[in-house]
Amino acid sequence: MNFNDMLKKKKTETPEESVNEIIDNNTEEVQTTAVDEKSAEDVLKEELALANDKYLRLYAEFDNFRRRTTKERVELLQTAGKEVIVSLIPVIDDFERAAKSMENATDINAVKEGVALVHNKLNNILSQKGLKPMEAIGQPFDADLHEAITNIPAPTADMKGKNIDEMEKGYYLNDKVIRFAKVIVGA
């Protein structure tokens, strides 16, 4: 509709008809706008509901993950030494056999050899699991590796500040100190 058509229409209409027409047009616009706003509001509500649903699912998934990892950690701690213990069972069997054979043994050398074999077997198993003995005698005293029991006069001048004797052997497990060597230091 162009401008001239609207002028002709206005001349033929009465003022009441044009007011009614304007009201009808405005009502239609308000209804259309209300419907548009309502649908936008509904869209936003749907988006909010979806976001809440995603949040709840993510929260539940994280909670399940946390529970599962806690359970796995507890199980790991309970069975952490299982491999080492299972590998040490044959050594226990060897010690039991050695104890039985010592009851009836008359040859001390055979008993000593048997005990030495069991000792070597135990050392081999532990070294396979990453255990290494610490060399302390003759080494300079290091508070990070050694625990000094006492100081005694050094037998020679070059042994001052060095470990002269070892009361308890120190050990590394995979290059980490798990037991400090208890040593006597030359003063």
Q: Inform me whether the pLDDT recorded for 63 exceeds 90.
A: yes
- pLDDT for position 25: 58
Element holding 75 (H helix, E strand): helix 15-79
Give the per-residue pLDDT at 31: 53
In 35-180, at which residue ranges do the beta strands (DSSP E only) sit? 131-133, 146-152, 163-168, 171-173, 176-179
Is the pLDDT at 187 greater than 60? The verdict is yes
What pLDDT score does 81 carry? 76
Between 124 and 104, where is the model more confident?
A: 124
pLDDT at 14: 54
Split at pLDDT 50, 70, 90, the class of 51 is very high
Kindly report, residue by residue over 77-99, the tens digit of the pLDDT. Answer: 777 777 777 888 888 888 888 87
Q: What is the rounded CA–CA span in Å between residue 11 and residue 32?
A: 29
Q: How many angstroms separate the CA atoms of 179 and 168, rounded?
A: 9
Assess whether pLDDT exceeds 70 at residue 158: yes
pLDDT for 97 equals 82
Question: Has residue 6 got a pLDDT over 70?
Answer: no
* Range with the largest mean pLDDT of 1-10, 61-70, 107-116: 61-70
> Higher confidence at residue 66 or residue 181?
66
> pLDDT tens, 68-82?
999 999 888 777 777
